[in-house]
Structure 1
């Protein structure tokens, strides 16, 4: 069976990121189609599987296990299982990026720090 799903059907709100949960579509992968303004992005979290990002436009600052990287349009970034990571849209325009999760369901745990620590 082959299906076609429109991005607009997957948007989490009127303007932003779309979420494709593979299990809902008979697919073995899931992804976020990120569309976020400068400064936007998730808090620090991790996954038990590999996550691969494809930067379509804009720029991102990526923090992963204490390392800071920059990625622009055309970059492909791989985050390994268990790595504590986050990204921020760092350019002057929206960051558009596909965040591919090697799982039919999104599994992520946000990392919290004790008050007064960073």
Structure 2
């Protein structure tokens, strides 16, 4: 088992799925998004934790829009549709934590 994993080893989406690394009970996306980038609207059966490290993002959580800057944590409630976009002028860097050994999500937009 690998104990040190580079970002590049996680593939194009930079997704760490715990089940691929000895059934580790956590998964995460290692996000580095340019201005205007972000995922489509989706939902999970569990909370998603967003650790914003650098930049600025606009989160849509259900019917709520929230502007967040670096050094903040956002909690996306279970079963609530959400997405984010890099709404800043520079790179957005964050870790999006999924409390399970694999990411489970349903896309709500094309």
Please classify the TM superposition score into its range, dividing by the shorter chain length: over 0.9
Structure 1 stretches (4+) deviating beyond 6 angstroms?
none
Structure-1 residue corresponding to 2:29: 32
Ranges in structure 2 where 5+ consecutive residues have no aligned partner: none
The answer as to 2:6 corresponding to 1:6 is yes
Cα displacement string for residues 49-86 of structure 1 (whole angstroms, at most 9, x for unaligned residues): 11101001010000011100011110001111101000
Q: How many residues get paired?
A: 109
The separation in 2 between residues aligned to 1:112 and 1:44, in whole angstroms, is 6
Q: Is the 8 A contact 2:2 2:21 kept in 1?
A: no
Q: Which has the higher contact order (CA 8 A, sep 6+)?
A: 2
Q: How does 1:1-118 map to 2 (within 5 A)?
A: 3-12=3-12, 17-26=13-22, 27-112=24-109
The separation in 1 between residues aligned to 2:2 and 2:15, in whole angstroms, is 19
Cα displacement string for residues 1-40 of structure 1 (whole angstroms, at most 9, x for unaligned residues): 771111121141xxxx411011101210100011110110
Structure-2 residue corresponding to 1:116: none
TM-score (norm 1): 0.87
TM-score (norm 2): 0.93
Q: Secondary structure at the match of 1:9?
A: helix
Cα-Cα RMSD? 1.6
